[in-house]
Chains A and B, each alone.
Chain A
Amino acid sequence: MSSGTLTGAKAARLEPTPRKRRRTGRGKQTGWMFVAPFMVVLILMLIVPIGYAIYLSLFRDQLIGGNHFVGLANYIQLLQDSKFWSSFGRVLIFLVIQVPVMLVLALVAALALDSARLHAASFFRIAIFLPYAVPGVVAALIWGFIYGPQFGLTGSFNDLLGSDLLKPFTSTWILTSIGNIVTWEFLGYNMIIFFAALRVVPAELYEAASLDGAGSLRTIISIKLPALRGAIVIASIFSIIGSFQLFNEPNLLKTLAPNVIGTFFTPNMYAYNLSFAGQQFNYSATVAIVMGVITAVIAYIVQVRGTRQENR
């Protein structure tokens, strides 16, 4: 509007080069300004800590003798560390069993909600989702009470049966006990992801299916599940990361079952105890870096495979 006195042709003739140059220059700046808040947070919260952890992992600080550069010695030690691999194996088993169980249950719950055949559907939805709103620490404490072989529900149940049927704190059952807590916590969260994905399926598809004579099972297999693929991939990745990062639940239950849950029960607990009980910050950083890399690789594989299926 300010250039209203100039004719269009004149303006175009007079100004193209400088304006163009100026626009690109300013455009670059504007772009950076838009991403700046994100970049600042990314650098401060992600790049710097990771860089520092990598830096730490190349040193060894001793109670006596001080700090010195050791190159990759911590990594070499870690690769041969049976404690680390046993903790890794444990979360891997946990992942392979708990994640599918939880996701299938979440899927069933989401499909049930979506079927519109439930009475009090909104109550059902909030009831399943509610545990997610309970902080993980509180959840572990609650379940710690429930699992108590003397004081808790488990104790009362065993008394009722007059046997020691339930033993949640024995080495045989501890992973199941923790899996139960984690499932309880995150079932609702995953259900919501699935349910949201189901809500965006166009109604025409269902209409067409019913015109073609498809029953509800057929609709689930041919429409709902394919529509959920993306959501399932996302939920799987979240769950994989969550499994590798397992910490709160076992760490809190450790006071109740100290001999069953050791200091290297999960990789995160191992890293925690290395740094906070043993002052082995450098080795702990090494554990964190290696676990980060492994988690990223596995999450990436799942994502690539998941999207490929989606595109098929």
Chain B
Amino acid sequence: MHKRLRTIVGAAVTTIAVTAALTGCSNSGGGSSNDGGNAGQVDAALKAGGTLTYWSWTPSAAAQVKAFEKAYPKVTVKLVNAGTGTDEYTKLQNSVKAGSGAPDVAQVEYFALPQFALADSLTDLTQYGFNDLKSKYTSGTWGSVSLDGKLYGLPQDSGPMAMFYNKTLFEKYSIQVPKTWDEYIAAAKKLHKADPKAYINSDTGDAGFTTSMIWQAGGRPFEVDGSKVSINLQDAGTKKWADTWNELVENKLLAQTPGFTDDWYKQLAGGEIATQITGAWFPGVIESGAKAGSGDWAVAPIPTYDGKTAVTAENGGGAQVVMKQSKNQALAAGFVKWLNSSDDSVNTFLASGGFPSTTATLDSSEFLATKPDYFGGQAINEVLKSSSDSVASGWKYLPFQVYANSIYADTVGQSYADFSDINTGLKAWQTALVKYGNEQGFTVTAK
């Protein structure tokens, strides 16, 4: 029933329906959760002060913490870099399992959030009235932290996808900047023919990229209803993406250089990789990693399947969450609120090259008018901002996405390695995920 609903009705409506079905009315009052907290409690806690531990690997964290301590002198925040991404999640997961040792506040990427939410290790922030902050954030990021009627964190950054491309290279071989995926494939062929060392994109198979591309194509392979999970990595949208991308994989039109390696930066700078379809956080990465490419690059909206309606997905980005283990959840919530909604903090974040999740910043003329030299003076934030407005809704990650991503190379990666049909790899991924999920006590069905 729900399944059919979801495909027919718009996803926003569905979310409300599912929310209502799952939570009933018990949560709508806000204050009915276990702690009985409320908005006033947060302010009181901030006034009273205390000590918090905050795990984060963002470059802006230290400056933000400093500014926060200045604004709230009675609060001390201990900043710990517990590793990047999966390294941090491992430690976080271990402390959740051990029942102690978790920080008060942690940075968690959107794809990993459901895993911690499911383990009941995160504080529901609706009890502090944080649902009122909804209008401050883009709908894509809000959807990533608001699961089944509960609010598990506040969004910090976002990664609406766009196409970053080497304009000089496109001009050199007089290739049109593609607007559809068909044009993109044609451009890939033309480019590689003109220069055998040049590829349209680099992709060795990356779980985060794949899920975002499926998201854009309209696939919704993961459906989660509490501990009931269904996986269909052959639904219409997923197949649509896989069949398109197969054209590039099977014809060896992708540089199989893993991201964030020296080889990758060299190829980006040297005109051997023509485009990157990725999140809006990418400018910071390429500007610092591939300096020699300065002036060559530009940004365009992500190609679409029909060439008409702009539709994109989120790639990367994360939120700050309050751990249930925290002894002072109200104070932790206060810190998170300041961190991800105060001008002071968001500006610090922007200065470090982050791409924000708050609409006020995204809409500000100052932000939109930024014209980095690396991108030849293009007002790239205008493109990226409009991308954040067209993120497709209704996407869900698995409640064990961290593990899922870790075995991606074992399954789908093999299709890349063999230059063969990605669908085969996706099916293998699905089989492995169904097996793992059931072993872990979920009820996982393959469709």
Contacts and interface: CB of A to CB of B under 8 A. Distances in A.
A148 interface: yes
Contacts of A277: 86, 90, 402-403, 406-407
A151 B409 contact: no
A171 B409 CA distance: 13
B406 A273 contact: yes
B333 to A, nearest CB: 26
Nearest to A262: B410
B35 interface: no
A262 B439 contact: no
A309 interface: no
B204 A62 contact: no
Contacts of A152: 262-263
B400 interface: yes
A63 B118 contact: yes
Interface stretch (B17-25, B208-216, B217-225, B413-421): B413-421
Contact of A258 (B204, B262, B403, B436): B204
Contact of B262 (A63, A151, A259, A280): A151
A186 interface: no
B59 interface: no
A279 interface: yes
Given A151-B263, A277-B406, A259 B414 contact: yes
Contacts of A273: 406
Given A64-B442, A262-B409, A255 B93 contact: no
Interface in B219-264: 227, 256-258, 261-263
A65 interface: yes
Nearest to B115: A63
Contacts of A150: 257, 262-263, 266-267, 272
A148 B413 CA distance: 19
A63 B119 contact: yes
A62 to B, nearest CB: 4
B440 interface: yes
A244 interface: no
A264 B410 CA distance: 8
Contact of A65 (B402, B410, B441): B441
Interface string B256-291: 111001110011000010000000000000000000
A143 interface: no
Interface in A198-233: none
A74 B56 CA distance: 36
Given A258-B205, A259-B413, A273-B406, A279 B93 contact: yes
Contacts of B263: 148-152, 155, 256
A155 B267 CA distance: 12
A264 B263 CA distance: 25
A263 B257 CA distance: 19
A259 B416 contact: yes
B410 A263 contact: yes
A75 interface: no
Contacts of B417: 171, 259-260
Secondary structure at chain A's binding surface: helix, strand, loop or mixed? loop
A65 B442 CA distance: 9
Interface residues of B toward A: which range?
35 or more
Contacts of B436: 278
Contacts of B258: 255-258
A64 B403 contact: no
Interface in B178-226: 204-205
A69 interface: no
A55 interface: no
A151 B440 contact: no
Interface string B82-102: 000010001001000100000
A276 interface: yes
B90 A276 contact: yes
Interface string A47-84: 00000000000001011110000000000000000000
A247 interface: no
Contact of B204 (A64, A171, A259): A259
A255 B227 CA distance: 32
Contacts of A278: 403, 406, 436
B405 to A, nearest CB: 8
Contact of B227 (A64, A145, A260, A279): A64
A255 B413 contact: no
B205 A259 contact: yes
A263 B207 CA distance: 14
Contacts of B406: 263, 273, 277-278
B409 A263 contact: yes
A255 B118 CA distance: 29
Contacts of A259: 204-205, 256, 409, 413-414, 416-417
Interface in B411-447: 413-414, 416-417, 436, 439-442
- Max chain B C-beta neighbours (<10 A), residue from A151, A257, A279: A279
Given A60-B439, A279-B93, A279-B440, 11 more contacts: A63-B399, A63-B400, A63-B440, A64-B441, A255-B258, A256-B263, A263-B406, A263-B407, A277-B403, A278-B406, A278-B436
Interface of B: 86, 90, 93, 97, 118-119, 204-205, 227, 256-258, 261-263, 266-267, 272, 399-400, 402-403, 406-407, 409-410, 413-414, 416-417, 436, 439-442
Interface of A: 60, 62-65, 145, 148-152, 155, 171, 255-260, 262-264, 273, 276-280
28 contacts: A60-B439, A63-B441, A64-B442, A145-B262, A148-B262, A148-B263, A150-B257, A150-B262, A150-B267, A150-B272, A171-B417, A255-B258, A256-B263, A257-B258, A259-B204, A259-B205, A259-B256, A259-B413, A259-B414, A260-B417, A262-B409, A263-B407, A263-B409, A277-B406, A278-B403, A278-B436, A279-B93, A279-B440
4 nearest A-B pairs in the assembled complex, by CB-CB distance: A64-B441, A65-B441, A277-B406, A259-B413
